[in-house]
Amino acid sequence: MPEQNKPFVITDRRKFNLDGEPRPDADPSPEREEREQTKAPEPAAAAPQPTHVPAPDAISSDESEPQLPPPPTAEETDQAKRAYDMTADRLDTAIRAANPGADHPPAIGFDQLVQSLYMTAIMQLGGATREGQQPQVDIIGARQSIDMLAVLGEKTKGNLTPEETRLIDSALFELRLAFLELTQAIARSAAAKAGAPGQPPRPAGPTVVR
């Protein structure tokens, strides 16, 4: 039979008749579809357990420390020292030629190193201020210079002559006293600026640059 002449087939999918009674010939397919739709979903696959990551404290110190470059060889160190000494000698010769009668610069030793750190700290504490000018103080820089001098004394302990030991001990004693006096003066100046109104202002103290 041609396709256009096929009869229409009507399927009654109602579950109940007009009296509200269940129809014995009702198509059970909708109920089956509902049961399939309401069927409990299958449990999902268990999530993979996280890989154990060691705590930072468990990492070995060799891995956490920065990798330093290898030290120079003895031959490289010797070559660099010889080249430096030759260049320094040529520089001294040029300076004496440009300044006839000038003394040969003294060799740098432990005394010069202590004196250099000492003078640096004194200048940072305002010791190089000209008369009549307000001191400019680098209190943090002065503290660092004093601490570097203390580290130098600690690391060289037992390897110094009695004169060198007395030099560094005296320098640290004077610098620490100067540091205490300056910090107390700064504190008094700050208290005077924040004092009760009506009181005469006190002379300005040193200016802290850092």
Model confidence pLDDT, tens digit, residues 1-51: 555 555 555 566 666 666 666 666 655 555 554 555 555 555 555 555 555
pLDDT digits over 90-126, tens only?
988 888 888 887 777 778 899 999 999 999 999 999 9
Q: CA distances (Å), 171 to each of 88, 142, 149, 177, in order?
A: 29, 13, 9, 10
Domain contains 149: yes
Domain contains 68: no
H helix runs in the chain, sequence order = 29-38, 61-64, 74-98, 110-124, 139-155, 162-193
Residue pair 114/149 in contact (Cβ under 8 Å)? The answer is: yes
Domain contains 13: no
Domain contains 187: yes
Q: Which domain holds residue 155?
A: 110-193+206-210
Total domain count for the chain?
Answer: 1
Domain contains 210: yes
pTM recorded for the entire structure: 0.57
Domain contains 180: yes
Domain contains 42: no
Domain contains 154: yes
